[in-house]
Structure 1
Amino acid sequence: MTQLQSYASDPAGSRGRLHDEKRDVTRGPRDDFQRDRDRIIHCISFRRLRHKTQVFVAPDGDHYRVRLTHSLEVAQIGRTLARALGLNEDLTEALCLAHDIGHPPFGHAGEDALEEALADHGGFDHNAQTIRTLTKLETPYPRWNGLNLTWEMLEGLAKHNGPVNEPTWALAESNDAVDLDLHSWPSLEAQIAAIADDIAYDNHDIDDGIRAGLLTLDQLLELPFIAERWQVIRDRFADVSPDRLLPELIRDQIGLMVNDVLETTCERLKLLAVQTPTDVRQAGRMIGGFSDEMAEKERALKGFMYENLYHHPKQMAAAEEGKRMVADLVRAYREQPDLMPASWASALPDEEPARIRHIADFLAGMTDRYARNRHQEIFGELSDQS
């Protein structure tokens, strides 16, 4: 690891964990942020990401991205940025790896179903669910619930997109247990994790969309900045078939975005005279991110992706099916709680809103595959009883 800059998060100066832990030399010579990263990698919720939708619901192909592979790609970009900026790589990596843990099955379609189910009980938000999962629902330790992550880790997950002035019930509940200073800006490691997420899915979703036949290169070249980069690549590899050049385009795009973030972030650090992590949190603006020019290009790319991929009729039909399955499961578990596994059914609260939130916790942890199987089993049973 490179030497930390003065504005980087230092594990030796961490605000600590909710539960005090005695150092155990048998666990190896790791600092607090390394332990956070390792706790994420080893937790059940992280493993479940391998069967959760990224773009394509329950993809048949082995080569499409899922939440797990996406998170690994985000971590690679995030760590590269952190190293170049002299930030704490381990904290950045941990935030990147954990950022999607709160997503329910079927991606945003599943989230929409849970949001509707909890509309009268505080709603559902996958970012807050990530923290709820890591502080309450994971139970690998004998004396407390949750992974007992550092304050800096929880803060970064809570507000990696900036201050949170109106937290959802789940985030407010977590904040009551550990004051995350929601009204300030997050660490620079958290800001870098957020922009690494944007860079990863902006570019890798192009790859998956073309592989699936829902996007074409000709469509993509309607964006001037993509067409410009494509021409550079064609000139560079004039003797190579264009069919072999799409990965090169993706790599170039990622490289351009990464370099833009590095240049822009360094300029802002200098302009704002940032010296400490406190300066970062009190800067009054996001420091780690794109230049205005690149941000405009990135917005155009996102708009293109929504119009041509995320809202493609085939994608919309698959999303609608996923949303329906989650909504069906919510209804089934409300009407017949004993359909849940015994450990979940026995812990079901009697009163609202705790009751529906408990059901949502169970559903949010499901993989696409598990949700499909439960839907098939339950609605076969329910239809026999109707």
Structure 2
Amino acid sequence: MTTPATYAALPEESRGRLYAEPGGETRGPRDVFQRDRDRIIHSISFRRLRHKTQVFVAPDGDHYRVRLTHSLEVAQIGRTIARALGLNEDLTEALCLAHDIGHPPFGHAGEDALEEALVEQGGFDHNAHTLRTLMLLESPYPRFTGLNLSWDMLEGLAKHNGPIDRPSWAMADVDALFPLDLHSWPSLEAQVAAIADDIAYDNHDIDDGLRAGLLTLDQLLEVPLVAGCWARVKMRHPDVPEGRLLGELVRDQIGIMVNDVLETTRSAIRDSGVRSVADVRAAGRALVGFSSAMAKEERTLKRFMYATLYHHPEQLAAAERARTIVSELFTAYREDPARMTANWTDNCVTEEPQRSRHIADFIAGMTDRYAQNRHHELFGRPIALLAD
């Protein structure tokens, strides 16, 4: 086993869990972060990700990515980076697997609809809802609420994109329950999870866009990063049909980005002089990231993806129909909470903002297909998300 770096998160130095679990640590030879990872994998919230939108709303095909497969790919990239940097792989993997659990059905379209529905009740934020789900909503254990994940895990989920100076109501609630030092930087493991997320969706969305026919190779070659990688791939495989090289293109780009992160992060760690996790949290800046040159290339790629894929007319039309489903479900449940399932109806209060937030919790936990089915049951008219 590789000796961990001094600035790695160590399970024996974890700040522990909100609720004590006497005797629970005897369930197999697992440390606190391994148990966190396993609790995520065995959770209902994680399983539901297999039917939640990643890029394509209700994708017409079995080969497109969903939130679950995206999370697994993020975890693979995250573990690779963590291992190379001497960080804790188990904590990194757990953070990667859990980072999208708070997404409602239909991805950002569903989030936009809930944000609008809760505009007078504090809004909706999928990252804060991840913490809310894992700490308050899913409770499989008999003696405490939530999954009772470690402080280190919850802190990383809350701040994987950096310090939070103005927490949403949902984030403020969980922080009051188990203070997460929101104003400091998170562990390197959490920073790795964030960059792994960027690398995964930057590149795997290209793969899905090509498969769906919404992107073409000629369009992609307008992006300098892609053009450079494609030239090197063609040079290595001059006699292979182009169609068989698209996967190699995506793999090359991931490798180039990962190697850039490793080189840049090692330099940042060395220059900062951090020697412990406490030093990392007090560093005042992110230490894991792209070089300035790669960051510029990555921003160009993102702009291209928004212009050609995420904002493609077919995507926008599907997203609008998805927003309609979520908005109309929210209105229907607010008018009559008895339309929700029994356990959610029984726990619904009359006071605001708790009433609307409770309804949003119910909807946010839905998968795409469950939301479609519930909408059809309530309104008697199916909404086809995909164009004929």
TM-score after normalising by structure 2:
0.97
Write the letter of the residue equivalent to 2:115. E
- 5 Å-filtered alignment, 1:1-386, equals 1-24=1-24, 27-380=27-380
2-side partners of 1:340 and 1:33: how far apart?
35
**Structure 2 stretches lacking a partner, 5+ long:** 382-388
Task: Please name the residue that 1:384 is paired with.
Answer: none
2-side partners of 1:106 and 1:25: how far apart?
38
Q: Deviations over 1:98-146 (max 9, x none)?
A: 0000000000000000000110011000000000000001110001110
After TM superposition, give the deviation of residue 25 of structure 1 in Å.
Answer: 6.0
2-side partners of 1:186 and 1:240: how far apart?
45
Write the letter of the residue equivalent to 2:174. S
**Structure 1 stretches lacking a partner, 5+ long:** 382-386
Write the letter of the residue equivalent to 1:218. D
After TM superposition, give the deviation of residue 24 of structure 1 in Å.
Answer: 3.6
2-side partners of 1:277 and 1:297: how far apart?
30
Write the letter of the residue equivalent to 1:345. T
2-side partners of 1:88 and 1:332: how far apart?
46
2-side partners of 1:264 and 1:57: how far apart?
36
2-side partners of 1:3 and 1:215: how far apart?
44
TM-score after normalising by structure 1:
0.98
SS at 1:121's partner residue?
coil
After TM superposition, give the deviation of residue 156 of structure 1 in Å.
Answer: 0.3
2-side partners of 1:225 and 1:136: how far apart?
43
Contact 2:4 2:88 in 1 (8 A): yes
Q: Deviations over 1:289-309 (max 9, x none)?
A: 111110000000000000000
2-side partners of 1:25 and 1:138: how far apart?
21
2-side partners of 1:112 and 1:228: how far apart?
36
2-side partners of 1:218 and 1:171: how far apart?
43
Q: Deviations over 1:182-234 (max 9, x none)?
A: 00000000000000000000000000000000000000000122111111111
SS at 2:380's partner residue?
helix
After TM superposition, give the deviation of residue 150 of structure 1 in Å.
Answer: 0.4
2-side partners of 1:163 and 1:253: how far apart?
29
1-side partners of 2:162 and 2:337: how far apart?
38
Q: Deviations over 1:238-280 (max 9, x none)?
A: 1111110000000000000000000000000000011000110
After TM superposition, give the deviation of residue 359 of structure 1 in Å.
Answer: 0.2
SS at 2:120's partner residue?
helix
* Identical columns (%): 70
2-side partners of 1:211 and 1:23: how far apart?
50
Write the letter of the residue equivalent to 2:273. A
SS at 1:119's partner residue?
coil
Write the letter of the residue equivalent to 1:52. K
After TM superposition, give the deviation of residue 350 of structure 1 in Å.
Answer: 1.3
Contact 2:225 2:301 in 1 (8 A): no
Contact 2:192 2:288 in 1 (8 A): yes
After TM superposition, give the deviation of residue 26 of structure 1 in Å.
Answer: 5.0
2-side partners of 1:65 and 1:23: how far apart?
40
Cα distance change on mapping 1:291 and 1:151 into 2, 3 Å: same
2-side partners of 1:195 and 1:313: how far apart?
29
